[in-house]
Amino acid sequence: MKRLLLKVEPILWLLFGQGILIGTLLLTGWVLVLGIAAPLGVVDPISYARAHDLGASLIGRLVLLALIALPLWKGAHHMRHVFIDTGGGDRDATVAPLLYLLAAAGSLVAILAVVRL
């Protein structure tokens, strides 16, 4: 299992890096605009129909999928390294696949949700 983890490590780092990018740039802006600025009246709130139309477009679906799935991979990678740093390095071959399987399952659920829009 350790060899498999070493072979897929570049892919995991790619997903982790993109999760940081999406989580830092897009998700933060989304929360600031829709969660803080709109309720305070700084910006006009978007209607449900307009939000659905944006999310149902091809680019909107890709953005929503990235906003949901990539932070899951970032979280799984962070949890793996927290586990290793707190003395669980000898059980990494068991914990890492479990964490990445959870991220993959969450990504599949996100794909299904975005496709059903």
The domain that holds 19 is classified in CATH as: 1.20.1300.10
Domain that holds residue 31: 2-115
In Å, what is the CA distance from 43 to each residue of 12, 28, 35, 36, 50?
Answer: 37, 16, 11, 9, 15
Our count of domains for the chain comes to: 1
pLDDT at 31: 85
One digit per residue, the tens of pLDDT, for the chain of length 117 reads 678 777 877 887 778 888 878 777 877 888 888 889 988 988 888 888 988 898 899 999 998 888 888 889 888 888 988 998 998 888 888 888 899 999 999 999 999 999 998
Measured on CA atoms in the order 14, 9, 102, 16, is the torsion positive or negative?
A: negative
In Å, what is the CA distance from 113 to each residue of 12, 56, 58, 61?
Answer: 23, 11, 14, 10
Output the DSSP codes for 20-64. Answer: HHIIIIIHHHHIIIIIIIHHHTSSPPPPHHHHHHHHHSHHHHHHH
The tokens for 41 are 């009246």
pLDDT at 15: 80
pLDDT at 1: 67
Instruction: Please calculate the CA angle 3-84-73 and round it to the nearest 5 degrees.
Output: 70
* pTM of structure: 0.75
